Amino acid sequence: MEEFTKKKRFNLQEFENTFSNNRQKIKPTENLDTNYNIHTGRPFSQKYFDILEKRMTLPAWEAKEHLKKLLDENQVIILQGETGSGKTTQVPQFLVDFGFTQNKKGIACTQPRRVAAMSVARRVAEEMDVKLGEEVGYSIRFEDCFTNKTFLKYLTDGMLLREAITDPLLNK
Ligand SMILES: Nc1ncnc2c1ncn2[C@@H]1O[C@H](COP(=O)(O)OP(=O)(O)O)[C@@H](O)[C@H]1O
Ligand SMILES: [Mg+2]
């Protein structure tokens, strides 16, 4: 029980100083070693690297390694960061990098508005160099854009609740 309720507060700003000196040590993604996209088996496009360069300047990247450690040690974490720091677009991709989508598991990221879920999914698919609706998709009322191979899904709170009806423990 104690395990379950253990929480840690994490402030992105607070760790910025610690990690800004370590930036060069942070591996952008496991993917980069091969130049092949492990999700599609295809070589990365030039656009992928162009976007990656910009992504890596986002504050979320400075917290990547520390986030990994916190996730290893805690069941629940609260991550706080400024608007535009990369919480929505970067952190779910970090989770993919860390292996959270292995064994057919999926990552759900809720957004307050339908449009936000849709547009952020489009952006993340672009960042990951995959086709929207395949590895990365979205689910909003009256519109599903995912398949059974989708492992990162952006959705509204309402749609997550709907999923909880068929999968109450959110096993997936
Ligand atoms: N559609 C987009 N096109 C270009 N850049 C984008 C797009 N969406 C987000 N970004 C960039 O990604 C950064 C991180 O956005 P986001 O992950 O939504 O931040 P947060 O969720 O922390 O507010 C933004 O600062 C912005 O520069
Ligand atoms: Mg956000």
37-86 tens-digit pLDDT: 999 999 999 999 999 999 999 999 999 999 999 999 999 999 999 999 99
Instruction: Read off the pLDDT of each residue in 160-164 and give the average, rounded to a whole number.
Output: 94
pLDDT at residue 26, rounded to an integer: 44
The residue whose CA is least distant from atom 4 of ligand 1 is 123
Q: Mean pLDDT over all residues of the chain?
A: 85
How far are the Cα atoms of 4, 16, 140 from residue 81, in angstroms, in the given order? 24, 11, 25
Instruction: Read off the pLDDT of each residue in 116-139 and give the average, rounded to a whole number.
Output: 98
Round to whole Å and give the CA distance between 69 and 7. Answer: 13
Testing ligand 1's pocket by substitution, the residue of 90, 123, 126, 154 carrying the most ligand atoms inside 8 A of its CB is: 123
Report which of residues 20 and 122 the model is more confident about: 122
Q: Ligand 2: distance of its center to the CA of 86 in Å?
A: 7
For the cut 90, the answer to whether the pLDDT of residue 139 exceeds it is: yes
**What residues does ligand 1 touch, defined as CB less than 6 Å away?**
58, 81, 83-90, 123
Packing angle, helices 46-55 and 114-128, rounded to 10: 120
Q: Ligand 2: distance of its center to the CA of 121 in Å?
A: 12
CB 106 within 8 A of CB 154: no
Position in ligand 1 atom list of the atom nearest CA 89 = 17
How far are the Cα atoms of 30, 56, 94, 108, 163 from residue 35, in angstroms, in the given order? 10, 17, 18, 27, 35
25-36 tens-digit pLDDT: 444 455 455 578
